[in-house]
Amino acid sequence: MPTPLLLLAVLATLAAAAHPSCSPGSDPSGKCQRLASTHSATCVDLHLRTCSDASYNQTSFPTPLEHRSWEAVESSPEYIVLGVLHFLLEGQCNPDLRLLGCSVLVPRCEGGHTRRPCRHVCEGLREACQPAFDAIDMAWPYFLDCARYFTPEEEGCYDPLEQLRGELDAEEALPSGLPPTFIRFAHHSYTQMVRVLKRTAARCSQVAKTYSIGRSFEGKDLLVIEFSSRPGQHELMEPEVKLIGNIHGNEVAGREMLIYLAQYLCSEYLLGNPRIQRLLNTTRIHLLPSMNPDGYEVAAAEGAGYNGWISGRQNAQNLDLNRNFPDLTSEYYRLASTRGVRTDHIPISQYYWWGKVAPETKAIMKWIQTIPFVLSASLHGGDLVVSYPFDFSKHPHEEKMFSPTPDEKMFKLLARAYADVHPMMMDRSENRCGGNFLKQGSIINGADWYSFTGGMSDFNYLHTNCFEITVELGCVKFPPEEALYGLWQHNKEPLLNFLEMVHRGIKGVVTDKYGKPVKNARILVKGIRHDVTTAPDGDYWRLLPPGSHIVIAQAPGYSKVMKRVTIPLRMRRAGRVDFILQPLRAGPKNFLSGPSRASPWTQDPRGEAAQLDFEPPRARRQPASGSKPWWWSYFTSLTPHKPRWLLKY
């Protein structure tokens, strides 16, 4: 594995002075003994760079780890580990882990008394972050022992992450005299975006809520605002749709459009707009305005009009997030040449995890595994066109080649649903932005435009039930503020029209003869080699173009059921088609091979299925019998006081 330069620099600077942080033999495990709470102390100013953003500015000595000076703290293995966890865990749980560690390494001191951090905060963070440690075969650091160094709430503890949460919960008052429905058509910083989304969710609490799907590499929440008649839960046969913006940090129009859309949906719902009320009462909508908040900060520092074509495009790890997903399209082309093999819900190869996977990418992958999304759009900038899968050419060496999915007709309908009501996309001038796509109706197959691997849209289609298109909102990636209102006017109706497309096709519930839901049942459509699967409640959604279709439901241990359905040309509500499966009297029939959607499986190098917890162990990082994990070499210069407490064995 290539060694991160910054990681080496930190270790080289700190390693030489490392020394033990407690007396040898003080604990059978070699760890420091638990210290009693210190009620009185001499407070000194906190000047430790790693902890400069802690919620307090004074500490005291000795610390709970028995460090008695700044030199002892800065040369300790605990301090070195705290400084590099960010890199070892590839940005996961940052800055939470660092701030939690600071609360032990340099305890809070105020008014001549030390205060200990809350145990429940530690326990919550350990539960969330343990998979990240397991993925690199590292033990939970002893100095983050929740029972030893943290205290219950009733004993007067404090929350070391309070400031981090406070930044997200802070209110931003509207300018005086403006109605609550006012939308500020301006660029939003990360903090402003979070405040607007949280304020919007508070205004429409009966139909909206915010939640985070994870953190960026630099620790920013990937914040989603959800709209539904019952926010926070999946309702039977209510389709789920997501819109994602700012996957490239310097393509900011999509980010702002989704911030405006969230405010618009809330305001119009409260004002009684029947279209919006019907949409929110029948659909669960998830808006992620910024998938790449770190990249946005880089682009925003240059400002609108000054931003380069690629400055801020990547995340903080210098990864292009829309090239960072598993390449399942190549596997699809291989499978498609074999008759009788499933080409949908393709598992993720174990080899994928050997590469560098961004925390933002992991968050999206886990998100779409958790929620049964039906429809999605990713909003970009740089041109004016709607593209749809496949994005990778069926002949890898062809840079431009029409490469349709089995659902080509449906994808074209989805793309047209956006383009046909966009005034600029329908402008007949070939000299305008996107004019070269005019003959195709401002839509194009992605690979026919330009081919690339690792895209999010192909991954959605081949790994889950979700159909995703890509919308390029304009030729200027970071438009000036005065252009934002016009962009909103051009995209408001296309966004609403696209959201309503989730109700096309058919939906229903698959049950057994006793009425019990059958999850992971397959819904097949003759002539379309791409199946969808039922959610845990047995419900399904199948986007289909108008016409007659033969639909089949089947599951292991049950007889398959076949129905003919006709979808009228102008039908705008999904037709309900339920299936009742009868158990087989004899042994189960041979079904087409392939894993089901809801089972998180991966393929190991031998071709055998292995369960995946979405914080996958990396094959290159697993130690052979008797050897040390890959990251141990980073600490070899810390002799004689290496952090052996990070080893699991």
* CA dist., res. 135 & res. 617, Å (int): 4
**What is the rounded distance in angstroms from the CA atom of residue 344 to the CA atom of residue 335?**
10
Per the omega criterion (within 30 degrees of 0), is the bond before 390 cis? yes
Distances (CA, A) of 15 to 12, 84, 87, 338, 375: 6, 12, 17, 56, 51
Q: Across 440-496, where does the E strand assignment appear?
A: 443-445, 467-474
Q: Is the torsion defined by CA of 636, 639, 640, 646 positive or negative?
A: negative
* Residue of 90, 251, 268, 472 with catalytic role: 472
Classify residue 285 as left (phi > 0), alpha (psi -120 to 50) or beta.
beta
Half-sphere exposure of 132 (CA within 13 A, CB side): 24
Q: Are 208 and 226 in contact (CB under 8 A)?
A: yes
Report CA Rg, the chain.
27
Which strand (E) or helix (H) includes residue 552? Answer: strand 547-554
Distance in Å from the first CA to the final CA of the chain: 22
Angle at 445 between CA 441 and CA 446, to 5 degrees: 125
CB atoms within 10 A of CB 106: 27
| Spatial contact of 384 and 434, defined as CB atoms under 8 Å apart | yes
Could you please report the per-residue DSSP string of 239-258? -EEEEEE-SSTT--HHHHHH
Closest alpha carbon to 414 in 480, 479, 300, 494:
494
Buried b (16+ CB within 10 A) or exposed e, 142-151: bbbbbebbbb
Residue 358 in tokens: 């961004």
Is residue 226 part of the annotated active site? The answer reads no
d(CA 6, CA 635): 14
Beta strand extents in 111-187 (DSSP E only): 113-115
HSE value, Cβ hemisphere, 13 Å, CA-based, for 318 = 1
Question: Does residue 533 contact residue 520 with C-beta atoms inside 8 Å?
Answer: yes
Contact 532, 465 (CB under 8 A): yes
Nearest to 194 by CA among 151, 223, 162: 223
Q: Given CA atoms 81, 86, 90, 93 in this order, what sign does their dihedral have?
A: positive
List beta partners, residue 316.
Answer: none
Task: Quote the Cα angle for 14-17-23, to 5°.
Answer: 115
In whole angstroms, what is the distance from residue 573 CA to residue 588 CA? 35
**DSSP sequence for 323-392:** G-S---HHHHHHHHTSTTB--SSPPEEGGGGGS---HHHHHHHHHHHHS-EEEEEEEE-SEEEEEES--S
Active site residues: 472
